[in-house]
């Protein structure tokens, strides 16, 4: 497996987990996070701890996703914008020298 494939698989897995954690949350305190812990206020901190866990896991997965994306860009220098500038430099050096008719034509335009 290449480095690109490993980063791609990790980014996809983290993205899917992040979507799952976000979908489970409910900003009003209801949803799946309130069903964990049973009877609402009777459970000592059940809902609050689940909400905190989902909140922390969201931030952790989001940070991990950003780190993976940055690492993939740094670890794969041939895949980034540096390769584009190298290609442009190679194309410029491979350009043929102008022929005498081209220089005569340019002199007549001036």
Q: Where are the domains of the chain?
A: 3-80
Per-residue confidence (pLDDT) for residue 43, from 0 to 100: 46
Helical (H) or strand (E) element with 109: helix 100-109
- Going from the C-alpha of 77 to that of each of 3, 7, 39, 60, the distances in angstroms are 11, 14, 54, 26
* pLDDT tens-digit readout, 1-52: 788 889 999 999 999 999 999 998 876 655 565 566 554 444 444 556 777 8
Per-residue confidence (pLDDT) for residue 97, from 0 to 100: 60
- The answer to whether 43 and 37 are in contact (CB under 8 A) is yes
Per-residue confidence (pLDDT) for residue 68, from 0 to 100: 95
Residue that is written with structure tokens 């340019």 in the block: 106
* pLDDT tens-digit readout, 67-98: 999 998 887 766 545 555 565 566 566 656 65
Per-residue confidence (pLDDT) for residue 11, from 0 to 100: 95
């Amino acid at each position: 497996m290449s480095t690109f494939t490993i980063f791609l698989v990790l980014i996809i897995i983290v993205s899917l987990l992040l979507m799952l954690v976000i979908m489970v949350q409910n900003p009003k305190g209801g949803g799946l996070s309130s069903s964990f812990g049973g009877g609402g206020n009777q459970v000592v901190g059940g809902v609050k701890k689940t909400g905190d866990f989902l909140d922390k896991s969201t931030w952790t997965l989001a940070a991990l996703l950003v780190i993976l994306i940055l690492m993939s860009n740094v670890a794969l220098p041939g895949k980034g914008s540096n390769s584009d500038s190298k290609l442009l430099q190679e194309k410029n050096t491979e350009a043929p020298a102008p022929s005498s008719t081209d220089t005569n034509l340019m002199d007549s335009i001036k």
